[in-house]
Structure 1
Amino acid sequence: MEWELLGIILAGMVAFTCYFFKIPLPLPVANTSKDIREDRFDILRGFSMIGIVMIHIHSYFQFFHPADSQIIQSTLFFSNLARFSVPIFILTSAIFLRKKHGYWTSKLNHLIIPYVVFSILGYLIKYKDYQLFEFFEFLLLGKVFTPFYFVPLLLQFYMLFFIFDSVFTNEKWQDSLLLLAFLTNFGSNIGIFDSILPKQYHAISILNYIFFFVLGIRIGKNQIENTQVLQRTKYIFSVYLVVFIVLLIINSFIFEYDLKNHHTIYPIFMMIFFWNYLNQFNRRVTKILCFIGNQSLYIFLLHPFIIHFMHSVDPYIFGGPTLGYFFTLVLNVGIPSFAAFIIQKGKFLYQSHRLT
């Protein structure tokens, strides 16, 4: 419960301010009526992908230097700061979700097949005693590499939407469904369903992220962006970001709380904050973030291989703890990004050759 307390405090402050100043909550706008994809969602995914790497780097440093409390607390702070990442991935995956022809064909080609291929390679590399039953268990539960749990989790949401799309897209029920999803998500976070669900299922339980999925579907229906609301909330959320950073420093350096991925409030706060400021980012930076977000699946599947092999190398050899941290971050984002670029370039050249 203690790791939810930070979000409850933050939500209370934001709710009070929005109510006092009569400011509606400025959720992002999908503009699904346009033919052009909204780049800002890919940029959000780019931030989230970098955040996922930061979470894993904390474990990497903890593996080699658990007694170096100052460094571990610092990497814990960056890990906690990045805990919005997985919920944002779930949310942005739901925004453009539509039940249409080729629904599962697209999921098979762009998600399932790459996941199976990388899981086979990962299992052969990481484990010594190969067992077919164990491999299928790891595949279904996303346990070949720890981060792989995200794929079975996402597939469950895709299946849920495919079966109940008429429920999720019904405008009459959207407010009630969102409230129910929030209460379910929060209840799951504090362990209400732990004794009911199988223990092995806890890591990929959709109840941990159901609120973000339903909210993503809701955002996918938003068409009009109120620029006045965005301008007014920009400064409010900037102030609260400073407050939150202070609270996060206290939690990370004094209490040493390791926040969970399925925090119910913090990801929404960070999404709104980023959304308000994305247009002010340097164009080259946003282009890089957009590419990382757009190719996040390949980066997500390749990064665990890199961090796995790096566990045989002390991060301090890269120039000490500070340089070692940034070098590790660059390697784990840069190498998969470069691989994704080569793959996309190869696809483009192949298609161009076929047309000629």
Structure 2
Amino acid sequence: MEWELLGIILAGLGALYLWVFQVPYSLPHPLTTKKTRENRFDFLRGLAMVGIVIIHVHSYFYFFHPADTSVVRTTLFLSNLSRFSVPLFILTSAIFLRKKEGYWISKLKNLILPYTIASVIGYLIKYSNYTVLELIQFYFLGKVFAPFYFVPLLVQFYLFFFIFDRYLMNKKFSKGLLLFSFLINLTSNLGFFDSILPKDYHSISILNYIFFFILGIQIGLTQENENIPKTNVSLVFGTFFIVFLFFVVLFSGVYALDFKNHHLIYPIFFFLVIWELLPKLNHTISDMICYIGNNSLFIFLLHPFVIHMMHSFDPYSFGGPFFGYLFTLILNVGIPLGIAITIQKGKSLYQSRHFAEPK
């Protein structure tokens, strides 16, 4: 509650600052001035994917060295700092979402089918006493591997959008929906729905992330307003982000608290700070993270296999805590990316040969 309340207070102060000093600011729009897709969303998606891996790397280090306080609290700090990841993934998934022909076919081919294959193989690898009932339960709750809960969560949002798209895409309801979803999300974060909803459903409850989904849809509907003067608000967002950073250090290093994935304000601050600072970053770095964002499904589905196999090895055996951490992070991002590159090159090679053959 304290962290959630702190976020709301800081967000209120930030909004008050912009209002008092009449600093014009609008939601980031999904297209650039050249009417092409804004690559900063891919960057955010890539950063979120790396953040999800960082969260699980902390669990890996804690599994082997719970008594090594300095190392575990450092990995906990990095994990807590990465708690923006799942909300931003939800948000960026909603931005370009549209109900059109082949809506469910694309979701089946690009998400549900790969998830199904990964879940079945993962279940057979991870567990020894196989039962069909348990596999079905784990599949629908996303419990084969810890991060897999995100897929049932996302599928629910896709279903929600498919049913209510006429209201969600109607700009007349945008402000009301955004406020209502914020209140629902806040109520869920404070645990008011815990006694109502089944216990097994808590981890995949869309009420924990409904605000980010609605916000993503609203961003997807925005258009660039050329009448709004360009303003530099990096200092404002940067100041509040530093305050957040201080409390992340405090809660991680002193109180050793493990944050939730669905805090409301921190991901929004992170989103706005990165949005303002990204144009100033090195293009090579930003392109690499954008590439990770474009191949995030491979990392999301395959990295749990990598880190599960790594539980046979002490992370310190890879050169101590520092190099062990870097090695673990690089492997969990690099191996899925390598597989993605191999598959994509195989597809392009097959297509070039197929279309080159005389009919």
TM class, shorter-length: over 0.9
Instruction: Name 2:294's counterpart in structure 1.
Output: 294
CA distance in 2, matches of 1:15, 1:40: 23
Instruction: Name 1:137's counterpart in structure 2.
Output: 137
Is 1:111 the counterpart of 2:111? The answer is yes
* Alpha-carbon distance change, 176 to 32 in structure 1, aligned in 2, over 3 angstroms: farther
Alpha-carbon distance, 1:256 to partner: 1.7
Are the equivalent residues in 1 in contact too, given 2:145–2:304 (CA < 8 A)? yes
CA distance in 2, matches of 1:203, 1:170: 30
Give the partner amino acid of 2:208: N
* Alpha-carbon distance change, 139 to 230 in structure 1, aligned in 2, over 3 angstroms: farther
Are the equivalent residues in 2 in contact too, given 1:141–1:152 (CA < 8 A)? yes
Alpha-carbon distance, 1:12 to partner: 3.1
* Alpha-carbon distance change, 33 to 204 in structure 1, aligned in 2, over 3 angstroms: farther
Give the partner amino acid of 2:109: N
List runs of 5+ in structure 2 lacking aligned partners: none
CA distance in 2, matches of 1:229, 1:127: 58
Greater RCO between the two (CA within 8 Å, min separation 6)?
Answer: 1
Q: Deviations over 1:100-148 (max 9, x none)?
A: 0000010011001000000011001000011011101111000000100
Instruction: Name 2:274's counterpart in structure 1.
Output: 274
Instruction: Name 2:58's counterpart in structure 1.
Output: 58
Are the equivalent residues in 2 in contact too, given 1:26–1:272 (CA < 8 A)? no
Give the partner amino acid of 1:247: F
Q: Deviations over 1:287-330 (max 9, x none)?
A: 11111001101110000001111111111111111111111111
Instruction: Name 2:254's counterpart in structure 1.
Output: 254
Report the 3-state secondary structure (helix = DSSP H, G, I; strand = E; otherwise coil) of the residue aligned with 2:86.
Answer: helix
- Bigger Cα displacement from structure 2, 319-328 vs 124-133: 319-328
Report the 3-state secondary structure (helix = DSSP H, G, I; strand = E; otherwise coil) of the residue aligned with 1:173.
Answer: helix
* Alpha-carbon distance change, 13 to 73 in structure 1, aligned in 2, over 3 angstroms: farther
Instruction: Name 2:167's counterpart in structure 1.
Output: 167
Are the equivalent residues in 2 in contact too, given 1:41–1:92 (CA < 8 A)? yes
Give the partner amino acid of 2:234: K
Are the equivalent residues in 2 in contact too, given 1:29–1:225 (CA < 8 A)? no
TM-score (structure 2 length as normaliser): 0.95
Give the partner amino acid of 1:349: L
Identical pairs, percent: 58
Alpha-carbon distance, 1:20 to partner: 2.5
Alpha-carbon distance, 1:231 to partner: 3.9
- Bigger Cα displacement from structure 2, 158-167 vs 24-33: 24-33
Give the partner amino acid of 1:44: L
Report the 3-state secondary structure (helix = DSSP H, G, I; strand = E; otherwise coil) of the residue aligned with 2:172.
Answer: coil
Report the 3-state secondary structure (helix = DSSP H, G, I; strand = E; otherwise coil) of the residue aligned with 1:91.
Answer: helix
Alpha-carbon distance, 1:171 to partner: 1.0
Instruction: Name 1:312's counterpart in structure 2.
Output: 312
Are the equivalent residues in 2 in contact too, given 1:52–1:85 (CA < 8 A)? yes
- Bigger Cα displacement from structure 2, 28-37 vs 237-246: 28-37
Alpha-carbon distance, 1:24 to partner: 4.2
Are the equivalent residues in 1 in contact too, given 2:23–2:231 (CA < 8 A)? no
Are the equivalent residues in 1 in contact too, given 2:24–2:231 (CA < 8 A)? no
* Alpha-carbon distance change, 226 to 68 in structure 1, aligned in 2, over 3 angstroms: farther
Are the equivalent residues in 2 in contact too, given 1:3–1:258 (CA < 8 A)? no
CA distance in 1, matches of 2:296, 2:39: 14
Q: Deviations over 1:200-259 (max 9, x none)?
A: 000000000000000000000112166976642111112222222112111111122211
Alpha-carbon distance, 1:37 to partner: 2.6
Alpha-carbon distance, 1:78 to partner: 0.5
CA distance in 1, matches of 2:250, 2:163: 44
Are the equivalent residues in 2 in contact too, given 1:3–1:260 (CA < 8 A)? no
Instruction: Name 1:19's counterpart in structure 2.
Output: 19
Report the 3-state secondary structure (helix = DSSP H, G, I; strand = E; otherwise coil) of the residue aligned with 2:232.
Answer: helix
Give the partner amino acid of 1:201: Y
Report the 3-state secondary structure (helix = DSSP H, G, I; strand = E; otherwise coil) of the residue aligned with 1:256.
Answer: coil
Alignment of 1:60-79 (within 5 A): 60-79=60-79
- Bigger Cα displacement from structure 2, 341-350 vs 78-87: 341-350
Are the equivalent residues in 1 in contact too, given 2:48–2:89 (CA < 8 A)? yes
CA distance in 1, matches of 2:30, 2:15: 23
Give the partner amino acid of 1:255: Y
Are the equivalent residues in 2 in contact too, given 1:23–1:229 (CA < 8 A)? no
Give the partner amino acid of 1:187: T
Give the partner amino acid of 1:84: F
Is 1:158 the counterpart of 2:182? The answer is no
Are the equivalent residues in 2 in contact too, given 1:54–1:78 (CA < 8 A)? yes
Give the partner amino acid of 1:36: T
CA distance in 1, matches of 2:32, 2:128: 48
CA distance in 2, matches of 1:286, 1:33: 19
- Bigger Cα displacement from structure 2, 235-244 vs 124-133: 235-244
Alpha-carbon distance, 1:36 to partner: 3.3
Alpha-carbon distance, 1:92 to partner: 0.5
CA distance in 2, matches of 1:221, 1:53: 31
* Alpha-carbon distance change, 323 to 5 in structure 1, aligned in 2, over 3 angstroms: farther
Are the equivalent residues in 2 in contact too, given 1:44–1:293 (CA < 8 A)? yes
Alpha-carbon distance, 1:354 to partner: 1.8
CA distance in 2, matches of 1:104, 1:349: 28
Instruction: Name 1:31's counterpart in structure 2.
Output: 31
CA distance in 1, matches of 2:236, 2:258: 27
Are the equivalent residues in 2 in contact too, given 1:27–1:272 (CA < 8 A)? no
Alignment of 1:149-298 (within 5 A): 149-224=149-224, 231-298=231-298
